Amino acid sequence: MALCLPQAMAAHRMLTRRGVASVVHFGAAAGLTKSLDAHAWLDAAGVKVTGYPIDESLAEIARFV
């Protein structure tokens, strides 16, 4: 079960309520055991908040500010 997206979304909401700007990143890569591997991570002001470390095979495909 993937927890990265709910964790990133919850942390983004908590930081937003406290006036801290953050960015949710979405990435994807061709999967080894399935057709696609996806991941979400969050950073705020250069601080790695959730979803780190990021696999180097992932390519960022979207951001939510």
Q: For 4-63, what is each residue's pLDDT tens digit?
A: 999 999 999 999 999 999 999 999 998 666 778 899 999 998 999 999 999 898 999 999
CA-nearest of 44, 39, 32 to 62 is: 39
pLDDT at 1 > cutoff 60: no
- Give the DSSP letter of residue 59: E
C-alpha span between 29 and 21 (Å, rounded):
27
Higher pLDDT, 42 or 1: 42
Q: For 31-48, what is each residue's pLDDT tens digit?
A: 666 778 899 999 998 999
- What per-residue confidence (pLDDT) applies to 9? 95
